[in-house]
Chain A
Amino acid sequence: MPRQAPSALPLAAIVVVVALVAGSLSRSSQLDVTTGLVQMCIVIGLYSFVGVTGVFSFGHIGFAAVGAYVAGVLAVPVTQKELLYAELPGWLSNVELDPLVAVLAGALAAGVVAALLAPAFGRVSGLSAALATFAMLVIVYVIARNYEPLTRGTKGMLGVPRETTLWVAAVWAIVFVVVVDLYQNSRIGLQLRAAREDDVAAGAMGARVGVLRGGALILSGLLVGLAGGVYGQLLGSFNPDVFYLDLTFLTLAMLVVGGINSLTGAVIGTLVLTFLAQWLRDLEGALDRPGLTEVCFAILMFAILVLRPSGITGGRELRLRLPRRRRRQETPPPVAEVRPNSRT
């Protein structure tokens, strides 16, 4: 058996190329690409749960919200806190963390929220699990809207340092690609993907499916929380609606269009929809039809689900061919063709 080449390399190369090209574009286009790369991090985090375990989630944007708010509050300069966050508890009003440290703290907070949910996820699966994640999203949203001392509610967060440049986003996207590729090809990742197919058979091969799924939720919570913090530091100001249904729909559409069962799908889906959004928004302006983008995405997602449920990538990974491999057969012959085992 030839050794499998990692798919992280070609995917990271794609991210670098995208960032290089974007670097030569106008400021507004650069901002769109930066947003796309941050959303790619969210989609990869989502993939690390939905794609790897096969358990659907409508709630991971809740982790992004936790990450964004925690990272935001910790990084707002003390001078602005007096002005904007007067009701903040005393110990918090004197904290001003380095933006990067704040992002990591936000990820940790989202990971803790995921850890609270994890034991339940060992038991439920399918639609129940998807609804449970949605309930989590609603809870986070309601808290963000109403716990004003910390979040400023619907007035929104202000004064979050804008640290996420094009290259910061690109570096994070590469880190996400590498981490999730290592994870999905690890022993645990392989057992989870086997359980996605057939959890009885995977259990018989030694996978403790419930425990592993809980662990997958925590890891994905950390990742999406981290991406949320990075997103917050791109926006600088945001309100709870930023991390609610629109973003949930957009990130799910990106994953489904790209291909829910592969990391390559998460990357490609994000890029395709980001560029499509650019083009549709111009069209929207020209035709004076606001909302056209969302409708087109919904139709696209619907079409993919009906016509090609495994997405653009068909669940396959982009791989470099290892040089020592000589023979290569891309497709096995059709089922009807019979090739007897060679005799020895």
Chain B
Amino acid sequence: MLEVDGLTVAYGRVEALREATLSVGEGELVAVVGPNGAGKSTLLNTVAGRHRPRAGAVAFDGRDIVGAAPERIVGFGLALVPEGRHIFETLSVAENLRLGRMAGRGRTSAEDVRELVARRFPVLERYADTPAGRLSGGEQQQLAIARAMAAKPRMLMLDEPSLGLAPLMVDAVFELVVQLHAEGTSILLVEQNARRAVSLADRSYVLRSGRIVREGRREELLEDFEQMTSAYMGGG
């Protein structure tokens, strides 16, 4: 569904991403993990049309989307929930969701969004008229995801959804990701919380200093973690 091939992105002379190649299949949940500054956000922002790559190709549904404006890419059905959420704080929850629906250019009706919120985001239903800035961090993250889902994307990209949340809220957000995946949305999840993300995802990529250094299925990578832990702890 999403094919990224040899993507290189540079800020001035610094290459943040070097020849990254990865793919996400129809209905797949794929995680990209790696330390701070590895280029994870750069990857998502470039795919979403916020940066222009220096080299490489990005195809969504076989369509080349390099250089397309962010709102057109959302229109194709590929939505990004950016790091730091970027919800509109003085606007009400309902208005945030309406903006999300508008980005889908008529793919969804107000009724669809109402139904989606009732089913998957019941917390938000109660706060329809509340300014979004007054929600808790976890609720804001749910709103950011709901806003992206309001355009009924076929694929969702999530940038560090667990960042800065209380542990219980992290659970809630990850559970939401699993639910959306179970309903057939393809997901590309970027996380610093590596073990957690890898154990949710069908497949994962490890990104370090702008390069993809490892790719594997859930079991393979979890085994890596075991070995790493034992290596560090010195135990068997």
Q: Which residues of B contact A343 (CB under 8 A)?
A: 175
In the complex, are the beta carbons of A198 and B137 less than 8 A apart? no
Given A191-B102, A204-B70, A339-B123, answer yes or no on A332-B129 (Cβ-Cβ < 8 Å): no
Smallest beta-carbon distance A201→chain B, Å: 4
Q: Which residues of B contact A24 (CB under 8 A)?
A: none
B146-188 contacts to A (CB < 8 Å): 166, 168-169, 171-172, 175-176, 179
**Chain A CB within 8 A of B228 CB:** no
Smallest beta-carbon distance B84→chain A, Å: 10
- Beyond A201-B88, A206-B71, A338-B166: 8 further Cβ-contacts under 8 Å? A190-B99, A204-B70, A204-B103, A331-B130, A332-B127, A332-B134, A332-B136, A344-B119
For chain B, the bracket of interface size reads 35 or more
In the complex, are the beta carbons of B166 and A197 less than 8 A apart? no
**Chain A CB within 8 A of B128 CB:** yes
A330 nearest CB neighbor, chain B only? B130
**Chain A CB within 8 A of B61 CB:** no
**Chain B CB within 8 A of A2 CB:** yes
Smallest beta-carbon distance A1→chain B, Å: 5
The count of residues in chain A whose C-beta lies closer than 8 Å to any C-beta of chain B is: 38
Q: Which residues of B contact A289 (CB under 8 A)?
A: none
B130 nearest CB neighbor, chain A only? A332
**Chain B CB within 8 A of A337 CB:** yes
Contact of B171 among A1, A190, A340 (CB under 8 A): A340
Q: Which residues of B contact A197 (CB under 8 A)?
A: 88-91
Q: Which residues of A contact B46 (CB under 8 A)?
A: none
Q: Which residues of A contact B130 (CB under 8 A)?
A: 329, 331-332
Q: Which residues of B contact A190 (CB under 8 A)?
A: 91, 95, 98-99, 102
Smallest beta-carbon distance A325→chain B, Å: 9
**Chain B CB within 8 A of A205 CB:** yes
**Chain B CB within 8 A of A64 CB:** no
In the complex, A201 Cα to B159 Cα: how many Å? 14
* Chain B window 28-64, contacts with chain A (Cβ cutoff 8 Å), 1 for yes, 0 for no: 0000000000000000000011100000000000000
Q: Which residues of B contact A89 (CB under 8 A)?
A: none
Given A204-B80, A335-B137, answer yes or no on A194-B91 (Cβ-Cβ < 8 Å): yes
**Chain A CB within 8 A of B191 CB:** no
